[in-house]
């Protein structure tokens, strides 16, 4: 098997764009939470009004911004900026280019070109949980109002499709290998990273831009989470609304953004003298086959996903030094994940630091596993484990109604409130999505 390394990080999130600002806030657990302010509906209709948005998103601060990309949905724009930042962080030259038709009248380029040796050996595999509502829904409203298609924007269909983000990243940077969108709910980005690693391991490609993106802070999608009581109703105190493993947790906080990474085959990275953050050595994924929303209370498939990742990485449970968990702050997921760790690691589960990044940037759905993998890589680089913010009172008395005989108390080392200095050489990243989509990655510090 060829070795797969991570050489570039491109976070776009509510706590920062670019790895420097992102890390400064992540290591302190500084969140960015506020109440929603939808323009098209009265927010008083919602039980929950808490979210973690990217305020004042201005990609023009980082690059010349082609007008044609402004037609894209905001999730695709997050992915494009994240990919640009990741390529630059990986040491690639990213130069303005054109498609053969020249530049626009304003002189802004149509595309960018990355100086990769062989574009046909470079792919795009991105996760995304939702379609692009900011493109589709206004046009659908116009369709209904005008009773027909005459006034519709012809770009609506291609830019509203769930594959638009990956397609535009491929087009914008002239990457001609795999172009794949993974839509496995909250596990989308973790699955994308794992699939990208498999592509490189198996010799199909030398480089893949991967991770995930999502922009679900939309009145319609927000309604869906609100009506099933999945999101926090701590409207009077939004800054502490995301409380993974806390006994007072009442749901996740909807976030948005993109977590984009550059993965390369080790020799490909070495030949160009790239800085290497770490290595992906294991990937496991399974399905609960249980319920479209609720996790399997016995968590057999989730346990198996973690075991498969460890087996592929050829590491024992004693070697894992840190777990960046899914940690959603929901009533069912948190104790389920605690139980999974106890079943996989036994008594050692109590000695492994575990933290949830969603406690400070919210649940970014299809982007979550990408942003959290970036956090894990920076943890390894800096020797600092980011905290589980807002964990005031661990849920030590939780009892699972469906399976009361199982120990699902949230009594592990969840690194509450404050970051912790610790040298981490081997870490586990878990993701558990709606519909029983389970994913686990084993991440390793790079050793030549």
Q: What is the pLDDT of residues 8-23, one digit of tens each?
A: 999 999 999 999 999 9
Contact residues for 401 (Cβ-Cβ < 8 A; gap 6+): none
Residue for token digits 């199909």? 204
Q: Which of 159, 191, 268, 326 is catalytic?
A: 326
In the chain, the N- to C-terminal Cα span, in Å, equals 16
Structure tokens at 310: 């460890």
Q: Quickly tell me which residue has 């953050």 as its tokens.
A: 277
SS3 372: helix
Annotation says 363 is catalytic: yes
Q: Domain ranges in the chain?
A: 4-445
- How far is it, in rounded angstroms, from Cα 263 to Cα 243? 32
Q: How is residue 334 written in tokens? A: 């948190």
- Chain Cα centroid distance, residue 253: 14
> Three-state SS for 302?
helix
d(CA 157, CA 131): 11
**Residue 65: predicted pLDDT:** 74
Would you list the DSSP string of 305-329?
HHHHHHHHHT--TTT--EEE-----
Q: Give the span between the Cα atoms of 8 and 193, in whole angstroms.
A: 13
Residue 158 φ then ψ, to 5°: -65, -30
* Cα angle, residue 196 at apex, residues 176 and 113 outer, rounded to 5°: 35
Beta bridge partners of 363: 254
Helix, coil or strand: residue 279: strand
From the candidates 122, 268, 363, 410, which is the catalytic residue?
A: 363
- CA atoms of 15 and 378, how far apart (whole Å): 15
User: Two tokens at 105?
Assistant: 């009248």
18 CB contacts (<8 Å, ≥6 apart)?
10, 11, 62, 85
The neighbour count for residue 178, using CB atoms within 10 Å, is 19
Q: Nearest-CA neighbor of 264 among 429, 81, 90, 441? A: 90
Q: Is 140 a catalytic residue?
A: no
- 186 is known as an active-site residue: yes
If 0-12 CB within 10 Å is exposed, 13-18 middle and 19+ buried, where does residue 236 land? exposed
Active-site residue identified among 32, 51, 122, 186:
186
> Containing H/E element for 26?
helix 19-28
- Which residue ranges in the chain fall short of pLDDT 70? 67-68, 98-108
| Cα 175 to the center of its chain, rounded Å | 22
Task: List 179's β-bridge partners, or say none.
Answer: 124
Cα gap 249→234, rounded to integer Å: 9
- DSSP percent split of the chain into helix, strand, coil, nearest 5: 35, 20, 45
pTM (2 decimals)? 0.96
How would CATH label the architecture of 4-445? 3-Layer(aba) Sandwich (3.40)
Residue 102, pLDDT score: 47
Contact (Cβ atoms closer than 8 angstroms) between residue 110 and residue 99: yes
CA dihedral of 65, 69, 71, 77, whole degrees rounded to 10: -90
Residues 6+ positions from 242 with CB-CB distance below 8 Å: 31, 33, 52, 232, 252, 253, 329, 358, 359, 360, 362, 363, 389, 390
The pLDDT of residue 97: 77
State how far the Cα of 219 lies from the Cα of 89, in Å rounded to an integer.
Answer: 34
């Amino acid at each position: 098997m060829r070795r797969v390394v991570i050489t570039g990080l491109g976070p776009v999130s509510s706590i920062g764009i670019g790895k420097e600002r992102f890390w400064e806030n992540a290591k302190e657990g500084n969140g960015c939470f506020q109440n929603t302010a939808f323009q098209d509906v009265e927010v008083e209709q919602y039980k929950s009004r808490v979210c973690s948005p990217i305020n004042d998103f201005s990609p023009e601060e980082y690059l010349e911004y082609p007008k044609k990309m402004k037609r894209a949905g905001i999730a695709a724009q997050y992915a494009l900026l994240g990919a640009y930042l990741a390529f630059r962080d990986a040491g690639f030259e990213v130069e303005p280019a054109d498609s053969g038709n020249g530049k626009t009248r304003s002189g802004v380029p149509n595309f960018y070109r990355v100086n990769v040796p062989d574009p046909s050996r470079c792919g795009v595999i991105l996760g995304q949980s939702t379609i692009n509502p900011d493109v589709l829904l206004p046009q659908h409203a116009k369709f209904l109002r005008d009773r027909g298609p005459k006034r519709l924007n012809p770009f609506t269909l291609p830019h509203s499709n769930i594959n638009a983000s990956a397609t535009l990243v491929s087009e914008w940077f002239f990457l001609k290998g795999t172009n794949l969108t993974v839509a496995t709910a909250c596990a989308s980005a973790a699955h994308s990273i794992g699939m990208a690693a498999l592509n490189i391991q198996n010799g199909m490609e030398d480089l893949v831009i991967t991770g995930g993106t999502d922009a679900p802070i939309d009145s319609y999608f927000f309604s869906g989470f609100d009506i099933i009581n999945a999101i926090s109703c701590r409207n009077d105190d939004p800054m502490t609304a995301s409380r993974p493993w806390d006994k007072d947790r009442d749901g996740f906080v909807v976030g948005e953004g993109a977590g984009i990474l550059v993965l390369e085959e080790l020799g490909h990275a070495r030949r160009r003298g790239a800085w290497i953050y770490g290595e992906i050595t294991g990937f496991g994924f399974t399905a609960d086959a249980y319920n479209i929303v609720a996790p399997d209370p016995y968590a057999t498939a989730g346990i198996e996903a973690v075991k498969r990742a460890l087996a592929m990485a050829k590491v024992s449970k004693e070697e894992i030094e840190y777990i960046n968990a899914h940690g959603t702050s929901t009533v069912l997921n948190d104790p389920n994940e605690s139980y999974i760790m106890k079943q996989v690691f036994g008594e050692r589960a109590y000695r492994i630091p575990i933290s949830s990044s969603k406690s400070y940037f919210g649940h970014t759905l299809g982007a979550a596993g990408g942003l959290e993998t970036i956090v894990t890589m920076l943890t390894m680089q800096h020797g600092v484990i980011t905290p589980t913010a807002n964990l005031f009172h661990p849920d030590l008395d939780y009892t699972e109604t469906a399976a009361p005989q199982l120990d699902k108390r949230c009594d592990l080392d969840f690194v509450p409130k404050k970051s912790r200095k610790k040298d981490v050489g081997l870490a586990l990243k878990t993701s558990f999505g709606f519909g029983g989509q389970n994913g686990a990655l084993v991440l390793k510090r790079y050793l030549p």
